[in-house]
Structure 1
Amino acid sequence: MSNVVSPYHQRVAREKRALIVGAATALFLELGYDRTSLARIAERSGVSRATLFKQFPSKAALFDAIVTESWATADDSESPPTGDVVHGLAGIGRRYAELLRRPQMTDLFRIVIAELPRFPELADAQFAQGKMPYFDSVRNYLAAEDAAGTVRIEDIDLAATQFLGMISNYVFWPALLVPGWEVTAERVAQVVDEAVRTIAARYATTQSAASSAD
């Protein structure tokens, strides 16, 4: 007997998974992590408990999935090729800004902040499975550019933090903390471009900076 899952059943499984994740996120925000049960999530999402437990055997596993999916990039693009740090960082910066502007990203941080005193493991999951892998991708790109001679960076961790921080400090954190905070697409593009210029001005070699200006 074949164990191959048909495209139809794969699609149904993805749709049910999305319903479960959406229901869980909403309930975590409404009731808190502790008061939200898997049974309540199954009821809200409209799937059977058996279906939910098959995909997520525990509430912790479900939260881990929310973190992972929230931090997934919009197009899952690979790291840019080396040789043009301005172009490469611009692409990374735009994807990062798009990621931070997703409603589920602010929802995720609100859950973590609200439940941090009682469930510090939620913050650990957010950092280890969400932010850190994304940070690593930026750090690896800068390390590759450094090895190629496009930039000269002594502390790559610091440079990656500087770049991402310049974007998130304008695009994300005010939206999380200030009711009604909105940033236009044009302003986001400007924020990303200025972050790229700042990093390039600080770290790009003379040769690579001249090439990018051509």
Structure 2
Amino acid sequence: MTRDMTLDEFRTRQAETKRCAILEGAQRVFLRDGYERATIQKIADEAGVSTRTIYKHFDNKEALFIRLIREAARAPADVCDPGSLCCDEPPAWALRRFGMDYARLVTGDAWRDLLRVIIAEAGRTPGLGGALFEHGTCPYADAVRAYLVRRRGRGLVEIPDEKLAATQFLSMINGVLIWPRLLMNTSAPGDDELAAVVESAVGVFLARYGA
């Protein structure tokens, strides 16, 4: 502890350091052993902490895994804030912005690895998949839907179901990008490839809805 740091600040920093070590250790254990065979003791050994320390930060194994999902799916606040875009923003520009950030999320190594673990455990622990959807896809879908609702409110667009339209837009992106990463272990595509996929999705969306 330095002279400029209060005791409370020192304790907070120590707690955050341990929390990060726990998450890093948990990720390695989950990816190595799978969710079912992972234990709090294994995670403690991997992280170099006690099981008691883990339980100070997380209630159980599932809470730990869901925290990993939330960390991997953390999106830029200005992108996923439903009120971040004015309805006057051109739809092609807005959709490209949402689409590129979403494409980077779903092609990342952390997302791919967690998705593999979740698929393997889907029959035994279905809540994990729900957490991935809630913290990963839903914020983007909600932001796109909110943008479309505002445009409809201004009489700029007629879309019968904005929630369905937003889901369709994101599905055109992840349907192309996720499966090669997940099943064939391909390298993460660069921004040029992501942009081409997103641009195609934007074109199809605008041709259908004229948003």
TM-score, normalized by the shorter chain, greater than 0.5: yes
In structure 1, what is the equivalent of residue 77 of structure 2?
A: 76
| Separation in structure 2 between the aligned mates of residue 168 and residue 103 of structure 1, nearest angstrom | 14
CA deviation profile, 1:102-146 (whole Å, cap 9, x unmatched): 211011110111111222222233234443343223222222222
Is the 8 Å Cα contact of residues 108 and 188 (structure 2) preserved in structure 1? no
Name the stretch that deviates more: 43-52 or 110-119: 43-52
Name the stretch that deviates more: 126-135 or 35-44: 126-135
Is the 8 Å Cα contact of residues 96 and 202 (structure 2) preserved in structure 1? yes
Is the 8 Å Cα contact of residues 82 and 88 (structure 1) preserved in structure 2? no
Is the 8 Å Cα contact of residues 67 and 126 (structure 1) preserved in structure 2? yes
Q: What are the residue-to-residue correspondences of 1:189-200 with 2, within 5 Å? A: 189-200=195-206
Q: What are the residue-to-residue correspondences of 1:1-214 with 2, within 5 Å? A: 5-6=8-9, 9-73=11-75, 75-77=76-78, 78=81, 79-83=84-88, 84-180=90-186, 182-204=188-210
Q: Pick closer, same or farther for the CA change 1:173–1:98 going to 2, 3 Å.
A: same
Name the stretch that deviates more: 136-145 or 60-69: 136-145
| Separation in structure 1 between the aligned mates of residue 206 and residue 100 of structure 2, nearest angstrom | 16
Q: Pick closer, same or farther for the CA change 1:197–1:12 going to 2, 3 Å.
A: farther
Shift in Å, 1:175? 0.8
* Contiguous gaps of at least 5 residues in structure 1: 206-214
Shift in Å, 1:182? 4.7
Is the 8 Å Cα contact of residues 107 and 189 (structure 2) preserved in structure 1? no
Name the stretch that deviates more: 174-183 or 111-120: 174-183
Identity %, equivalent residues: 37
RMSD: 2.3
| Separation in structure 2 between the aligned mates of residue 98 and residue 12 of structure 1, nearest angstrom | 32
**Structure 1 runs of 4+ with >6 Å offset:** none
CA deviation profile, 1:131-182 (whole Å, cap 9, x unmatched): 3343223222222222233322112122112210111112222211123355
| Separation in structure 2 between the aligned mates of residue 94 and residue 40 of structure 1, nearest angstrom | 37
TM-score, with structure 2 as normaliser: 0.84
Is the 8 Å Cα contact of residues 93 and 167 (structure 1) preserved in structure 2? yes
Letter in 2 for 1:20: I
| Separation in structure 2 between the aligned mates of residue 14 and residue 5 of structure 1, nearest angstrom | 12
**Size of the alignment, in residue pairs?**
201
TM-score, with structure 1 as normaliser: 0.83
| Separation in structure 2 between the aligned mates of residue 167 and residue 5 of structure 1, nearest angstrom | 46
In structure 1, what is the equivalent of residue 4 of structure 2?
A: none
| Separation in structure 1 between the aligned mates of residue 64 and residue 30 of structure 2, nearest angstrom | 11
Other structure's SS at 2:49 match:
coil
Other structure's SS at 1:33 match:
helix
Is the 8 Å Cα contact of residues 97 and 167 (structure 1) preserved in structure 2? yes
